[in-house]
Amino acid sequence: MKGRYFLICGLITASVFAISLAYYGQLPERVPMHWGAHGEVNGWGSRAAFVVMTPAFMAGLLGIFAVLPWLSPKNFGVDRFETTYLYMMLVVVGLLGYTRLVMLYAALTHHIDVGKAITGGVCLLIALLGNVMGKVRRNFFVGIRTPWTLADERVWDATHRFSAKLWTLGGLTALILSFVTRVPWVPMAIILSLAVISILYSLMFYKGLQRRGAI
């Protein structure tokens, strides 16, 4: 199963590179690489950098995901939730591939609101990660890693069960708003608030256990 996930991610990475390379000759000399909150281009790069940068980052990310199980200390291994871990890898790599294709389309046609399209992708990513958040076991690399979740497995489990519902609902809400609102920071503000709420929940749950003498 592990090999299948890495194969799919590898194919996504190779496809993104191949598509970008196929359109190399049609790209302008200065390619838009970064957009501001209101969709205006505020960063440029060369065609070569544009073609290579994202696929290289995706390949490096795959390498990190491959080595993290080996780096995980005993009793905190990501192999305890391997299928969920691999799913998260696939979703993140998929988002990066989607982002590159949006940027490529924008560079070739200029007929797309890049900020809105990428914000929508990030919101969908949060919802998809939230969908499996409750299956993430205590580790040092993925999930809601606060001093309180890492200190006690009960806090970890409760926080991730709570965050699974919160992130799924919040991500979908932000996704809808990213396409209907004219205020670009609203969806991202929702996404940031999800992380803050999860962190505060872990603290409150830990302190609750502490008050009851359970810690």
Residue 176 has pLDDT above 80, yes or no: yes
- The pLDDT value given to residue 201: 98
- The pLDDT value given to residue 39: 62
pLDDT band for position 43 (cuts 50, 70, 90): low
Q: pTM of the entire structure?
A: 0.91
Domain range list for the chain: 1-112, 113-215
Q: Which residues pair with 45 in a beta bridge?
A: 31
Radius of gyration of the chain (CA): 19
The answer to whether 84 touches 141, Cβ cutoff 8 Å, is no
The residue ranges of DSSP E strands in 17-166, in sequence order, are 30-35, 41-46
pLDDT digits 0-9 by tens, 113-130 = 888 888 999 999 999 999
Average pLDDT, the chain: 92
Q: From the centroid of its chain, how far is CA 176?
A: 18
pLDDT digits 0-9 by tens, 95-105 = 999 999 998 99
Entry field: residues in the chain: 215
